[in-house]
Structure 1
Amino acid sequence: MKTLGPIELALRLLRRELTVSLRRRTELANPLFFFLIVCTLFPLGLGPSPQILAELAPGILWIVALLSVLMASDALFKGDFDDGTLEQILLSPVPLYTTVLMKTLAHWLLTGVPLTLLSPLLALMLQMPSEGLGALLLSLGCGSLMLSFIAAIGAALTVGLKRGGVLLSLLVLPLFVPVLIFGSAAVQRAVAGMDASSPLALLAALALFFLALAPFAIGGALRVSLDQ
């Protein structure tokens, strides 16, 4: 029997997670509809003034994207826990680090990436100047990756609880705040014609940090949750 290399194994795990997740299309569509609907409601609540909308657009987009990622995170490990797959994952010879890394990346690819690609359309609807679109895409791309890993840690800690959604929000929302601050600051600086490279570089560095180390925390949280 052929032994798979680490890269081939990781790609197969990622493909499996994407295939399984795509079968639950309703769960995948909910965050996107939430993102679209809430951003659409802001012009109705704030009024049609282009200046007010343009000024608030970076913060609005980032806050709603943050909540959309959080909304999709509660079920990240829930299905595997309910059907007993999670216990098999922990007993499997496949490194837990690789498994949770691919599960979280699949979550980001199906949640964070679509939100990022949809954001320029909503930004134009909110009258945000086109100068900030590039920074918006880059900041949301890196930021949503971090949000997915942070949310995955919280989801792993609360996976065994019957009503873990509220506790998940309380655990991860404080950790979302730095990402929100730097992400919206990058877009605001770009809209104002200033150099946005510093907050974008910091977001990229933090994204790589979480990509490398967060799977250890997620795996540890899963072990703790199943040992209870």
Structure 2
Amino acid sequence: MTLIKAIHLSKDYQVQEVQTPALRDVNLSIEDGDFCGIIGPSGSGKSTLLYCLSGLEKPSSGQCLVMGKDLSEYKETEIADLRQSTIGFVFQFYNLVPNLTVFENMLFPQIVAHKIDEKRVEALLELVNMAKYRNYFPNQLSGGMQQRVAIARAIVNEPKIIFADEPTGNLDSKSGREVMELLSRLNLDLKITVILVTHNPDHLDYCSRKIELRDGSIVNDQPESI
């Protein structure tokens, strides 16, 4: 089943009077269960592609379909619902609310979605080995610990897709491996589709699909989905 499809997707940024292309005519299908690693040099369009696929940015031209529906046809409320129910985000900067405890940070997306399930929160904290830190605040945790909480928070509402933008970018190599192993487990055990942007080629070893971008275009896609 195709979860996400990009059709002739292009994105330009206007800086003063100069128009700079970030994505050029990208065509891409991402299937249910893929662990898709997107790699390329700085400025190749990796993060822009992720933001367009997830609805965080609008393309300049082309289409992006999520669950068979063009994102341009979604109302703002529908996009918000999609992010609360179908999509989870993990970023390089953990984006935990500093004055909330670990447990409260985990509850926050459930409160927004009006479906509180404290047992699920507890189970996910166990899954990421953070249960004993439930009453800690973010500034009391290491970077790797904060990112594990951020990943658990991203799946608290049972999304089908996780978008991860450089999730190990601020971590040491050991913590980075732990984060990649966790994302791999979520993909294999919970069947969550993962779309990862990374600068680290070693992280592609965890991925079932490897996409290389250069100058806004896909130059390599292995194995390419049919």
TM-score, length of structure 2 as denominator length: 0.30
Larger radius of gyration: 1
TM-score, length of structure 1 as denominator length: 0.30
